[in-house]
């Protein structure tokens, strides 16, 4: 089975788990003061891993909620079973399943699916980016003043509230507006399809961004660190944009 078809199978076979879990009482476990996981996260992750390994048993897997034995494969799947767990726990219908595939440490496939809205973002390396099979591209907004951006706050926001709110204030003063939806994978996909012109955040994990990075790239966007270096999966900061406003975001955040 093709890698893309495997990812779509994961989407199709987890829909009911999402929808049933959203409607029913959830078993919630706190991993930190405000960082939580639900029984649905774990059920979806187990399902996705089983599907991937049934199709590609020799591939490696990096997943948020479990540790898999490394097989030294040139292929690695990166999975966030439920991005937006806090939204999900509070019955906010803005969540995502994020699945990426690397070959020799380079992203070749990205799929981000919101089961509540039915929106499916996909990309394969060199083949463009799509939303429900319609090709997408980043916006053409030429300046920060006319741009709508998104951001998020790391789980240590209680400890570093001043740093994060200072950055928020800087962008707020120079942009059209800011949104904070709590699902980084979808925020990045919204940059890819032109709904947002840019996005920034600190301390995201590989599974938060991997699939969306390829989708943004294939949609004509740009991702870097706050310092302007091309973004890599374990970097501590990320800026994503339509390219046109990228330098303005960097200069504003680092001023």
CB atoms within 10 A of CB 235: 19
Contacts of 127 (CB under 8 A, 6+ apart): 218
pLDDT band at 69 (very low <50, low <70, confident <90, very high): confident
- Percent of the chain past pLDDT 90, that is, above it, reads 79
Nearest to 212 by CA among 190, 197, 234: 190
Contacts of 41 (CB under 8 A, 6+ apart): 64, 65, 81, 82, 85
Task: List helix spans (H) across the chain.
Answer: 3-23, 39-55, 85-89, 161-172, 184-192, 206-218, 246-253
Question: Could you tell me the residue ranges of all domains in the chain?
Answer: 3-135, 144-253
> Are the CB atoms for 96 and 190 separated by under 8 Å?
no
DSSP state of 222: E
In angstroms, the CA 86 to CA 91 distance is 9
Angle ∠(191,83,87) on CA atoms, nearest 5: 100
pLDDT for residue 28: 62
- Percent of the chain past pLDDT 70, that is, above it, reads 94
In angstroms, the CA 129 to CA 219 distance is 5
pLDDT band at 34 (very low <50, low <70, confident <90, very high): very low
**CATH T-level topology, domain 144-253:** D-Maltodextrin-Binding Protein; domain 2 (3.40.190)
In this prediction, residues 2-18 reach a mean pLDDT of 96
For residue 54, what are its two tokens? 């049934």
Q: For the domain bounded by 3-135, which CATH number is listed?
A: 3.30.540.10
């Amino acid at each position: 089975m093709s890698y893309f078809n495997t990812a779509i199978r994961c989407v199709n076979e987890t829909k009911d788990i999402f929808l049933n879990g959203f409607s029913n009482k959830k078993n919630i476990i706190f991993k930190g003061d405000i960082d939580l996981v639900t029984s649905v996260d774990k059920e979806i992750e187990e399902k996705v891993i089983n599907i991937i390994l049934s199709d590609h048993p020799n591939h490696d897997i990096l997943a948020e909620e479990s540790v898999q034995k490394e097989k030294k494969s040139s292929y690695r799947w990166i999975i966030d079973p439920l991005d937006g767990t806090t939204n999900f726990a509070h019955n906010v219908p803005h969540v995502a399943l994020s699945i990426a595939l690397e070959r020799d440490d380079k992203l070749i496939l990205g799929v981000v699916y919101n089961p509540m809205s039915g929106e499916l973002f996909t990309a394969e390396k060199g083949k463009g980016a799509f939303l429900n099979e319609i090709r997408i591209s980043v916006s053409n907004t030429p300046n920060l003043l006319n741009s709508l951006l998104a951001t998020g706050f790391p789980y240590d926001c209680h400890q570093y509230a001043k740093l994060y709110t200072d950055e928020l204030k800087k962008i707020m003063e120079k942009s059209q507006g800011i949104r904070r939806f709590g699902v980084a994978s979808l925020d990045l996909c919204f940059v890819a399809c032109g709904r947002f012109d840019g996005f920034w955040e600190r301390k995201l994990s590989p599974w938060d961004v991997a699939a969306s990075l390829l989708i943004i790239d294939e949609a004509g966007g740009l991702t870097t660190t706050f310092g302007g270096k091309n973004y890599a999966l374990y970097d501590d900061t990320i800026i994503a944009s339509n390219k046109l406003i990228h330098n303005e975001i960097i200069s504003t955040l680092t001023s």
